[in-house]
Amino acid sequence: MPHSIILLQNGIKLVHQEVNSPIAHFGVLVNAGTRDEPDSLMGLAHFIEHTIFKGTKKRKGFQILKRLEDVGGELNASTSKEETYFHASFLHQDYPRTLELLADILFNATFPEKEIEKEKDVIIEEINYYKDTPIEFLFDDFETVIFQNHQLARNILGTKSTIAKIKQKDIIAFIHRHYTPENMVLSSIGNIATPKLVKMCNNYFAALKYQHDELPKRVPFTDYKPQFVKRNKKNAQAHILLGNLAYPYKSEKKYPFLLLSNLIGGPGMSTRLNMMLREKKGLGYSVEANYSTFSDTGLFTIYIGCDHNEVDKCIELTYKELEKIRTNKLGVLQLQYAKKQLIGQIAIAGESKLAEMLANGRSALHGDEVETIDETIQRIENVTANEILQVANEILQKEQFSTLLYAKNI
C-alpha cells in the first residue's frame, strides 16, 4: 500500500501506510543519538531511552508498562549512534490508547531521581555483560578504532564513569534540545484511515512545540587513517575485523555497494568469502560482511572467526578475494544472481511490518521522501556491473582497510 507524508499542525512529520491487518505499529523517531551527546555524558541518549518509562506526571512506571500489555500490545525503544526510537505494536482498535501513552511518555516523563540512580546500576550491569561478549564488544571497539576521537566513536551504552555522572538536569536539557518537531518523525503502519490518524496525532502530540532555536550541527567525520590494532585475548577462537569507510545513508552509491557487500559476505552460505574460507579451505567457522550507514558516512566490515593459528592466512586470503572482485567485472548471470539474492532477502525482511514502519520513519527523518521497499528493489534492479566495479575499487582497497584483531599472542 502507498504511504502518506503529512506535516502536522505543530510541524512534526507523520508517515502513515494503511494496511489491512489487525496488527498496527506506531513509532516516534528522534534524530538524536550517541553522537549528539555532550562529550562528558557518553551514554546519555541510551540512558534516556531506559528512564523515560519510569514514570510520568500521571502514571507510575508499572502503569506505563501495563497500559499496552493489558490489551496484548508491546512497548519498546532503542538507541543508535544517530537516532532514538520509541515504538509500539498493538491491535489496530487501540490506536488512541497507544498514541496517548506515547505522547504522555515523551512530554510528561518525570525522570525521578530515585529511578535514575537505580537505572545507573542496571546499565552498568549491561556494560559488564556486554564486555563479556567478545563479538558484540569487537564491533563497537572497531568503531572506536575507525572513528578515533570523533563522536561516532562513542559507545552507545557509555562507560561506567560517564553513566555515574548523569543527572536529572542533563536528561531534561538533552530532551529540550533535541526532542523537537523539526527533529522528530511519527511513523505508522496499520488499519486506520489517514485523516483519522492525522486528527489523533494533532490532538495527542499538540504539546510538542516548534522551537526556533537552531538545531545543533553534527561535526562530519573527515580524518580517517587506516589502523592496525591487536588485542591479546584468550578466547577459544580468534576474532578478526577488517573494514573501511563507505557511503552514507542518502548516497546513490549505496545500492551497488549493498549488492557488493551481500556478494562478499551476506547472510547466505554461498557468499564469496564463505565459499573460499570455510568451504574450500576449512579455515573460518564464521565469515560475514556488514555495511552500516550514517547521515554523513558509512562503514563496511568483514568479520572472520577462526583458529588462532590461522589468522594470518585468513587475512591474506580475504584480501586476495577482494582484489579479484576489484579487477573482475561481474558477468551477466552473476549480476542477475546477485540481484535476485538481495531482492529476495529484502522482500522477506519486508514481511516484518514493524521493521518497515521503522525504516519508513528513518527515511523520513533524514529526508523529505520515504523510499518504499518496492522503490529500493527497483534501484537495485537498475544497478550495473560497471557501478559495482566502481564502488569495489573505491572501497575495497587493501591500503585503506583497518584491522582489529582479538587473538592470543602466538
Q: How many Å apart are CA 236 and CA 174, to the nearest integer?
A: 42
HEC letters along the chain: CCEEEEECCCCCEEEEEECCCCEEEEEEEECCCHHHCCHHHCCHHHHHHHHCCCEECCCEHHHHHHHHHCCCCEEEEEECCCCEEEEEEEEHHHHHHHHHHHHHHHHHECCCHHHHHHHHHHHHHHHHHHHCCHHHHHHHHHHHHHHCCCHHHCCCCCCHHHHHHCCHHHHHHHHHHHCCHHHEEEEEEECCCHHHHHHHHHHHCCCCCCCCCCCCCCCCCCCCCCCEEEEECCCCCEEEEEEEEECCCCCCCHHHHHHHHHHHHCCCCCCHHHHHHHHHCCCEEEEEEEEEECCCCEEEEEEEEECHHHHHHHHHHHHHHHHHHHHCCCCHHHHHHHHHHHHHHHHHHCCCHHHHHHHHHHHHHCCCCCCCHHHHHHHHHCCCHHHHHHHHHHHCCHHHCEEEEEECCC
Q: Which pLDDT tens digit goes with each residue over 145-196?
A: 999 999 999 999 999 999 999 999 999 999 999 999 999 999 999 999 999 9
pLDDT recorded at residue 208:
78
Q: Which set of grid coordinates corresponds to residue 70?
A: 493489558
> Quick one: what percent of the chain has pLDDT higher than 70?
99
**Claim: this prediction has a pTM higher than 0.85:** yes
Q: Which domains does the chain have, with CATH numbers?
A: 3-204 (3.30.830.10), 228-407 (3.30.830.10)
pLDDT at 55: 95
Provide the pLDDT for residue 210. Answer: 63
**What pLDDT is recorded for position 287?**
93
Counting as low any pLDDT under 70, the low residues of the chain are 1, 210-213, 410
Q: How far apart are CA 265 and CA 282, in angstroms?
A: 16
Q: Over the stretch 267-305, which tens digit does the pLDDT of each residue have?
A: 888 899 999 998 888 887 889 999 999 999 999 999 999
Q: Which candidate, 410, 402, 408, places its Cα nearest to that of 228?
A: 402
pLDDT value of position 105: 96
